Amino acid sequence: MTGRQRPIPLCGGIVNISTIPQRSPFRYPGGKTWLIPRIRQWLRYRRPSVLVEPFTGGGIVGLTAVFEGLVDHTIFAEIDDEVAAVWSTILEGGSEWLAGRILSFDLNIDNVRDLLLRTPCDTAEKAFQTIVRNRTHHGGILAPGSSLTKRGENGKGLGQRWYAKTLAQRVRAIGSQRHRFTFLHGDGIEVMKSHATDPQTAFFIDPPYTAGTTEDGSKRAGSRLYRHHEVDHKHLFAVACNSVGDVLLTYDDTPEIREIANLHTFVVKRVAMQNTHNTKLSELLIGRDLSWFRPSLTQQEFFS
Ligand SMILES: C[S@@+](CC[C@H](N)C(=O)[O-])C[C@H]1O[C@@H](n2cnc3c(N)ncnc32)[C@H](O)[C@@H]1O
């Protein structure tokens, strides 16, 4: 066994993920960077040629899959206009313009306010506004009601998340591989249906989840994190179940979701991870067959 294949011992199933390459221009609420070691495990085992990510958001799974050669092509779908503007701009030839706009922006409170009050004249300008909003609002939240981090999280200032050079580099890197991505602005479930008969296509499904209640009886976070948070989960499971290619879904662990999964004879596994802020996270992984899942990760799965 080589060093890279040797399993990394996990303490309580938890590893810290600060070494996962950040490839997305977004800091996305509910983003799945922490799941990347499992995604590597899954795709290396299944070896699909195409990955569909029907609820793209920051798209870290689809980006990683292409950049690490785990699939030949990723198809992204996203319904939100602003998020979609970013993906279409980068993947339809506007990456150089967007990178330049990021590098030349003087980020201060007056310029941010002025920019975000303007009605964008085209999709590219909307993409730029979205990146600025995402990087300067609490938790990267783009949904109505989110607010500017005037003092920054931890008092570090408005520009705490504005790394212009790094962002421009990510935008350019994605743009340079745009022939390996397709972006569709619309309903991800419809996109899943149109690829349902292809055995070489796998689906990574990470929808907003707001049904059910939290332990204290309040509404789930999805309703304040995303502008579009209503999804017919039963229908989504049915479409996933009818797809010939492999599917991997992630959800909050609730009795409702376990029941729907069970109805479709899916298996579930609860996974735990620790993010870069040492926050412990756990979610359900759901699929037809999770035999690819091994409790420990190899160096290669962990460090790519
Ligand atoms: C949980 S987030 C995805 C986060 C993503 N996995 C990441 O790592 O950044 C869910 C996303 O689904 C989008 N969405 C909601 N309904 C949708 C639909 N019907 N079709 C496509 N996207 C949808 C939301 O706008 C949001 O961006």
pTM over the 0.85 mark: yes
Ligand 1 pocket check for 246: Cβ under 6 Å: no
So what's the pLDDT on residue 279? Answer: 72
Instruction: List CB contacts of 194: < 8 A, sequence separation 6 or more.
Output: none
Q: How far is CA 10 from CA 32, 39, 189, 274, in A?
A: 19, 17, 35, 11
Separation of CA 287 and ligand 1 centre (Å): 19
Three-state SS for 139? helix
Separation of CA 156 and ligand 1 centre (Å): 29
Separation of CA 106 and ligand 1 centre (Å): 30
Q: How far apart are the first and last CA of the chain?
A: 17
Among residues 94, 120, 61, 88, the alpha carbon closest in space to that of 185 is found at 88
Altogether, the residues listed in the chain come to a count of 304
> Higher-confidence residue: 154 or 148?
148
So what's the pLDDT on residue 9? Answer: 46
Lowest mean pLDDT segment, chosen from 38-47, 112-121, 232-241, 290-299: 290-299
Query: Tens of pLDDT along 253-277?
Result: 999 999 999 999 999 999 987 666 6
Query: Tens of pLDDT along 213-248?
Result: 555 555 566 678 999 999 999 999 999 999 999 999
Q: Provide the residue range defining the domain that includes 46.
A: 3-303
- CATH number of the domain to which 34 belongs: 3.40.50.150
Number of structural domains in the chain:
1
> Higher-confidence residue: 147 or 3?
147
Separation of CA 30 and ligand 1 centre (Å): 9
Residue 11 has pLDDT above 50, yes or no: no
Ligand 1 pocket check for 231: Cβ under 6 Å: yes
> Higher-confidence residue: 151 or 34?
34
Three-state SS for 81? helix
Ligand 1 pocket check for 209: Cβ under 6 Å: no
Ligand 1 pocket check for 28: Cβ under 6 Å: yes
Separation of CA 100 and ligand 1 centre (Å): 27
Residue 7 has pLDDT above 70, yes or no: no
Residue 284 has pLDDT above 90, yes or no: yes
Residue 4 has pLDDT above 70, yes or no: no
Ligand 1 pocket check for 192: Cβ under 6 Å: no
Q: Residue 255 has which token pair? A: 């009795």
Ligand 1 pocket check for 83: Cβ under 6 Å: yes
What is the rounded average pLDDT of the residues 105-126? Answer: 96
